[in-house]
Amino acid sequence: MSGGLAYPSVVRVPAPSTGPSIVRIPAPAAPSVVRLETPGIPGPAGPAGATGPTGITTGLGVITYSHQVADPNSVDPAVMGSPLDANVPLQLVFAPDPNLTLDHLNPPFIGQSFWDGTKVVGRPSADRLEVQVNLIVRSQRAGGTISLEVDAGSPFGPITSDNADLLKPAGVNERVTLTVKFETLTYVQANGAKLMLTSDVPASIFKESVVVAPQSTFVPRTP
């Protein structure tokens, strides 16, 4: 029987002719061992570990300069935004509203001003900047496109550009975002970076923002 005790069998061995019969009984087999494993109940969780060290600040931060030209939610027909004529380049110019300026710059840019009201300005070094222009516009004709060109006074023309399609119907407020990246090299250091807007349909600007996010800093190599 598997897993139980085996009873010995009797084996008779013929005896020699001169003596009695000899009975040989084998020793009983050792019982087999059955091991049954059952998962136990998990023990309680250990105590919480010690608080880790304070993390370091990463990234170079961002600063936002904004200005509201007119209330985009007004239903008064006399409330008009800044006109953006069709196919006529318009330099983005505004004095930022202190209440709408959000300064979250990190070292080494703390205290740095990137917008002087007429153009993007940088430090006297080859920093790389990402500049995002956010607009709330209302077009007079659907299906247009607004483009942004960065003019640093280079004889080779704009140093970078972006464009966005107008998707809303005419007369409906629409948010437009245009993003460019460039370095503060010779022409930007000398002239700043003017932000030139062009729309191929007539439109009005109700709110304008310039968001500057430094991407990297230039560290001169030591000889």
Beta strands in 113-172 (DSSP E): 128-139, 145-151, 160-165
CA-based R_g, the chain, Å: 42
Give pLDDT, residue 41: 84
Count of domains forming the chain: 1
pLDDT per position in the chain (223 positions), as tens?
455 555 555 555 555 556 555 556 666 666 566 666 777 788 888 888 887 665 555 689 999 999 999 988 887 777 889 999 999 999 999 999 999 999 999 999 999 999 999 999 998 888 999 999 999 999 999 999 999 999 999 999 999 999 999 999 999 999 999 999 999 999 999 999 999 999 999 999 999 999 999 999 877 777 6
Residue 170 lies in a domain: yes
Residue 22 lies in a domain: no
Which residue range(s) make up the domain with 100?
Answer: 83-212
Q: What share of the chain is helix, strand, coil (3-state, %, to 5)?
A: 5, 35, 60
Distance CA 133, CA 92 (A): 9
Residue 40 lies in a domain: no
Give pLDDT, residue 51: 75
pTM over cut 0.75: no
Distance CA 209, CA 100 (A): 9
Give pLDDT, residue 221: 72
Other CB atoms within 10 Å distance of the CB of residue 179: 15
> In sequence order, what are the residues at sequence separation of 6 or more whose Cβ sits closer than 8 angstroms to the Cβ of residue 130?
179, 180, 181, 212, 213, 214, 215
Give pLDDT, residue 17: 59
Residue 25 lies in a domain: no
Residue 75 lies in a domain: no
Sequence-ordered alpha helix ranges (H) in the chain? 186-191
Distance CA 9, CA 198 (A): 109
Give pLDDT, residue 67: 96
- ω into 8 cis (within 30 of 0): no
For tokens 């703390």, the residue is 110
Q: What letter would DSSP give residue 120?
A: B
Residue 218 lies in a domain: no
Residue 96 lies in a domain: yes
The domain that holds 153 is classified in CATH as 2.60.120
Residue 49 lies in a domain: no
162, 176 contact by CB (below 8 A): no
Distance CA 22, CA 90 (A): 125
Q: Which amino acid is at 54?
A: T
Element of type H or E holding 46: none
